[in-house]
Amino acid sequence: MRFIQLASAIAVATIPLPAFADVASTERLTYQAIMDGLHQKSGEELFAFLERVIVGTRNAQISIEQIDSIITQMRRIQQHDDYQRLVDGKKGSRRVLQPNRGAARRAIFRLQIAKVAKQLARLPMEHRVSELVNRIQHPPVIEGYGSDVQFAAELAALGTEAVPFIVLHKPAAPYPRRLIVGALAKIGDPRGLDYIIEVLQDPRDSYRLERPEAAIALGSFDEKRAVSALIESLKDVTVQTIGRNSHAQQPSPTTQKPHYAVYYEVQHRASQSLTKITGYNWGPLYNEDYKTWHNWDEGGQQKNFRPNEVPRSDAELNDLVEKLFHRYMSARPNPWQPYNALAKDGGVPSWEGGQQYEWLVADLRAVGPCVVPLLTDQYEARVAATPVWEEKLRTWVGQILRDLDWPQSLQAAQSLDQSAE
């Protein structure tokens, strides 16, 4: 097994803070180095330096009083820096940006967070945790930015000593629980497992966005309890709807509702975490299947396990194929990508390893010819439900049937082609 840490907090800010501002830095900036850079640099060089300050604030060797002095100098840059950058816009238009002013504002925001963290560091750990959790639940707006994610990062930075106190805090609102789950995952202490599992198993609809994050977070723990909880969560039928009209035939007639593909988010995230913890991946047909992982876990022959050897009823096979269609139509592993990992043309290797389409065909071939009517029946069912997908699904299913290369599958592919004429 292998241990992999994930960051799961999702920013919700009054004004979005660029992603690079959350990147951890090992560089330890000093007060003098920061002040020298702010006074001596200008233009693009100053912009690059401000970005370094943004990502290096937490590890900077600066006191609370020095933070105030740095902020004073940053204010001058924010208000008076005259460096400009021209950016090409749409239809030949050009915009004038003042990047150093914006970077100074972001740096001030991070310095304000660092100042609070240094002030709280004077408190006993129990009180420090309580104060940070309170700010996660009721985040102050600082420099126009929401601060909940930043304070969650400070909570994670407290490390293992804080875990016994963190798990005592269970806010009523789901979103703060999600941020605390992310902090516990970053710390990676097994004493946080029960807290994360509790969020994963909360059946309330209000936790529909938190359960997938908890499934991701459990991928940080090389623990039997995490594996067992993730396997059970493969029964979770929470779905997200993904708009896919831009990648399908346009709706016709115009009164037809746009198509939104079904994305089983908890199952998908749980299967990713199981693969990361265990090193096993059962491919696009089986990896999100509860029965596959349950039999792997209980069978006692984990290294020799083959998911296609698990006995399955016709209904269970049909469920696998139906989920396969949903996976294709929601374009996982990334529902918003312009390509599809399960398509032969444009299919791409993913973090899961291997070419997904070829893997899929190999797994279907191992099931045997009984899979042919399952594919065609699901094609008809999906098209009946969402006619906008007819052309795209016919192409995809026809290609799979031809690549299976059985007499039954070739005949079915030919029938699909004739239906389009």
CA gap 368, 149 in Å, rounded: 49
Q: Is 280 helix (H, G, I), strand (E, B) or coil?
A: coil
Contacts of residue 409, defined as CB under 8 A and 6 or more positions apart, other chains included, come to 369, 372, 400, 401, 402
Give this prediction's pTM.
0.85
Q: For residues 416 and 377, is the Cβ–Cβ distance under 8 A?
A: no
Reported confidence tier of residue 27, pLDDT bands at 50, 70, 90: low
Q: For residues 401 and 409, is the Cβ–Cβ distance under 8 A?
A: yes
CA gap 215, 272 in Å, rounded: 9
Note the maximum CA span of the chain. 79
Question: How confident is the model over 72-117, as pLDDT tens digits?
Answer: 999 999 999 999 988 887 777 788 899 999 999 999 999 999 999 9
Which H or E run includes 263?
strand 260-263
- Cβ-based neighbour number of residue 60 at 10 Å: 21
Given a cut of 60, whether residue 43 has pLDDT beyond it is yes
Place of tokens 């919700």: 12
Q: Is 140 helix (H, G, I), strand (E, B) or coil?
A: coil
Q: For residues 62 and 31, is the Cβ–Cβ distance under 8 A?
A: yes
Which token pair is 45? 């060089």
CA gap 233, 331 in Å, rounded: 21
Contacts of residue 414, defined as CB under 8 A and 6 or more positions apart, other chains included, come to none
CA 411-412-415 angle, 5° bins: 90
Question: How confident is the model over 119-134, as pLDDT tens digits?
Answer: 999 999 999 999 999 9
Q: What number is the average pLDDT over the span 333-346?
A: 65
- Cβ-based neighbour number of residue 405 at 10 Å: 11
In this predicted structure, which of 42-56, 122-136, 318-332 has the lowest mean pLDDT?
Answer: 318-332
Proportion of the chain above pLDDT 70, given as a percent: 85
Q: For residues 8 and 185, is the Cβ–Cβ distance under 8 A?
A: yes
Look at residues 185, 269, 182 and name the one whose alpha carbon lies nearest to residue 221: 185
Q: Is the peptide bond before 253 cis (omega within 30 degrees of 0)?
A: yes
Q: Which residues of 27-123 form beta strands (DSSP E)?
A: 85-88, 94-97
CA 121-114-194 angle, 5° bins: 65
Look at residues 199, 177, 192 and name the one whose alpha carbon lies nearest to residue 133: 177
Look at residues 251, 257, 263, 259 and name the one whose alpha carbon lies nearest to residue 209: 263
Reported confidence tier of residue 352, pLDDT bands at 50, 70, 90: very low
